[in-house]
Chain A
């Protein structure tokens, strides 16, 4: 199998599996227990917290472990708004966020918040003037993703923070799930107050994530119970998973700079070859800063679902848009926001590469893709996908 869906998830690193193993059985204790087995578990938990903190430029006390990126985003948005002054019920986010943020923001809207969804340009980059214009004294939270999951574009987060801090008292959250492991992430340098991460995007296990929470940033817990994670996230911590996250964060932080150069080079070569080999292909977000390894294209005259099915039958794993479980099959909201026509967006293909992709046979892949596209284009279905 040629795996080209690292933005969906990644295989666990060997180092991660090795680090997790003892915590499945040997150090099985509950980290809240006082005896030796509990202390071992707690030690593993805190070592992992230090590793994750180091990887993102934070203090260990600023890391709250969660059951994934989605939970971290939910906790950030709902938790921050719950703690905000009831007169400051305005939230700003972008129209290209992951659904973990988008649907949380829509939920807040239904609870009576005012929510502004900022537009983006053709490359999927946030309009900073629109951000400035939408800030008000009522704005309590601004949430802007670090890197987009579908097209890989990187937002000017430092400028976002500067503008927000200059014009309001709002806290800034970033969904950094697609950033960590792909580009260096330093929450201190970015200046954000909160940031969400997911272990499985960087060679760690699924079901583990973290919320970075800058000192003195007030949020209300969304899960109530035993008061773990400094009262912010109740529930017995997933110790083995968190240990795996720590190792994945440590390893990827040491590799990210060197690997990024290689992956960007690989991605650019792949993009170049596809654009030359296949007529009527457009690159999404190609003119903006992008995370290395992510390539999103729209192939005119083919349907994404058909493309994936045909690639799958030839041993190529890719995705159309994002890999969300909803199976909505609607044109991507990200591409729509970037001004891509719905019929074009139906033919979107995301190829995302990572640690295991460096030996990718670009020629063979482009040949396969060309054949599949030619096949799909040769038979016009009775109903062409139309704008809906």
Chain B
């Protein structure tokens, strides 16, 4: 329970389903962000969550995962930026904290299930658990849960995924929960005051030194404020005007260079995906899927070719270049098949041979 409306209602719905519910709040951060008004580790958030637990008449505990969070999610975040990549800390948190460290505790406490406030759904068909999109596509969070396997899904429950956000707020209000009208938190919970640039500047000093912005031919167009402050695909905030829209196509941490190009070079045919996992194993070595490469981005038809713990995704039509370090998730209809971390991206018309795509600089 984060002190937000979704996890509040998740607890309420589980109780309504007849479960003997215990509320758990994760204390993830001991730095400055803990005092953020919006931060999920703030005292206000803890008080809100505790009050919801009181109203629902369930026990409430705060578990300290600050060390684990720092050594996994925050370290990963800074290492990725230092390598010129764009990490997704929410995915890392689900992988290392919520559905690892917390799930272990749930087992330890003899819990039958672990419910969270994520907008997603699960079901079980022929003894196999499936991870499905939320009923309301606009709120769907199955993207950040792709790493869940059978072992995790056996315990995981996402009760709010059956509802729309307004319905969740209505349920919260009808139960008299004080979190009913709480605004959505958008910021990363561990970044003080939502100032990601300041946080990166502090944590990744080597990526916060000005350097050249160049074209793919090497022509210098301007100066950037530090490579770690840019994302592949970014158009705004480059500070250069050449009359045409320019996009970041590559971030080179090795020589502190940001490469830009016009929209012509912006699209790619395929991407390589690393550390791939599947909800129930890969369907076939090569399969068609709808692939998402951005949270709440479009779903794009593609062919996924699995190779060891990596995969090559070849799009049916060229796509705007996704940012290495971000997450690619494979869907079939509303079902999550699996996903991984985006490595290199390419423009070759033909799918590259296995392994080839990973020669370009990437983590």
B15 contact set on A, CB distance < 8 A: none
A376 contact set on B, CB distance < 8 A: 108
B107 contact set on A, CB distance < 8 A: 379
A385 interfacial by beta-carbon distance below 8 Å: yes
Stretch at the interface among B57-65, B159-167, B175-183, B344-352: B57-65
- Establish whether residues B101 and A309, one from each chain, have CB atoms under 8 Å apart when the complex forms: no
Closest 4 pairs between A and B when the two form their complex, measured CB to CB: A329-B64, A381-B104, A383-B68, A379-B108
* A306-B109, A329-B27 as given contacts; A379 in contact with B104, CB under 8 Å: yes
B236 interfacial by beta-carbon distance below 8 Å: no
> Considering the chains assembled together, what is the distance between the CA atoms of A310 and B46 in angstroms?
21
A359 contact set on B, CB distance < 8 A: none
A312 contact set on B, CB distance < 8 A: 59
- Establish whether residues A313 and B22, one from each chain, have CB atoms under 8 Å apart when the complex forms: yes
A309 contact set on B, CB distance < 8 A: 22, 59, 61, 109
B110 interfacial by beta-carbon distance below 8 Å: yes
Shortest beta-carbon distance from B39 to chain A in Å: 15
Q: Beta-carbon contacts of B89-115 to A below 8 Å, as 1s and 0s?
A: 000000000001100110111100000
- Establish whether residues A381 and B67, one from each chain, have CB atoms under 8 Å apart when the complex forms: no
- Establish whether residues B108 and A375, one from each chain, have CB atoms under 8 Å apart when the complex forms: yes
- Establish whether residues A388 and B110, one from each chain, have CB atoms under 8 Å apart when the complex forms: no
Shortest beta-carbon distance from A50 to chain B in Å: 40
> Considering the chains assembled together, what is the distance between the CA atoms of A305 and B108 in angstroms?
12
A258 interfacial by beta-carbon distance below 8 Å: no
A112 interfacial by beta-carbon distance below 8 Å: no
* A312-B59, A313-B22, A327-B46 as given contacts; A381 in contact with B105, CB under 8 Å: yes
Shortest beta-carbon distance from B48 to chain A in Å: 14
B108 contact set on A, CB distance < 8 A: 306, 375-376, 379, 381
**A interface residues, Cβ below 8 angstroms from B:** 305-306, 308-310, 312-313, 327, 329-330, 375-376, 379, 381-383, 385-386, 388
Shortest beta-carbon distance from A108 to chain B in Å: 23
Can you list 23 A-B contacts with CB-CB less than 8 angstroms, sorted by A residue number?
A: A305-B63, A306-B108, A306-B109, A308-B61, A309-B59, A309-B109, A313-B22, A313-B59, A313-B109, A327-B27, A329-B27, A329-B66, A375-B108, A375-B110, A376-B108, A379-B104, A379-B107, A379-B108, A381-B108, A382-B100, A382-B101, A385-B67, A386-B67
Chain B interface: which size bin? 20 to 34
Chain B residue nearest to A325 (CB atoms) is B43
- Establish whether residues B101 and A383, one from each chain, have CB atoms under 8 Å apart when the complex forms: yes
A327 contact set on B, CB distance < 8 A: 27, 46, 62
Chain B residue nearest to A346 (CB atoms) is B64
B68 contact set on A, CB distance < 8 A: 383
Instruction: List residues of B (25-57) whose CB comes within 8 Å of A's CBs.
Output: 27, 46
Known: A309-B22, A329-B27; 7 extra A-B contacts, CB below 8 A, are A305-B63, A329-B62, A329-B66, A330-B64, A376-B108, A381-B101, A386-B67
> Considering the chains assembled together, what is the distance between the CA atoms of A308 and B110 in angstroms?
14
A388 contact set on B, CB distance < 8 A: 66-67
B101 contact set on A, CB distance < 8 A: 381-383
> Considering the chains assembled together, what is the distance between the CA atoms of A308 and B61 in angstroms?
9
Shortest beta-carbon distance from B19 to chain A in Å: 13
- Establish whether residues A305 and B61, one from each chain, have CB atoms under 8 Å apart when the complex forms: yes
B105 contact set on A, CB distance < 8 A: 306, 381
Chain B residue nearest to A302 (CB atoms) is B108
> Considering the chains assembled together, what is the distance between the CA atoms of A386 and B72 in angstroms?
14
A385 contact set on B, CB distance < 8 A: 67
Shortest beta-carbon distance from B284 to chain A in Å: 32
Q: Which of A309, A310, A330 has the most CB of B within 10 A?
A: A309
Shortest beta-carbon distance from B175 to chain A in Å: 24
Shortest beta-carbon distance from A280 to chain B in Å: 18
A379 contact set on B, CB distance < 8 A: 104, 107-108
A375 contact set on B, CB distance < 8 A: 108, 110
Shortest beta-carbon distance from A348 to chain B in Å: 14
Instruction: List residues of B (103-129) whose CB comes within 8 Å of A's CBs.
Output: 104-105, 107-110
Chain A residue nearest to B110 (CB atoms) is A375
Shortest beta-carbon distance from A201 to chain B in Å: 24
Chain B residue nearest to A388 (CB atoms) is B67
B27 contact set on A, CB distance < 8 A: 327, 329
> Considering the chains assembled together, what is the distance between the CA atoms of A308 and B22 in angstroms?
13
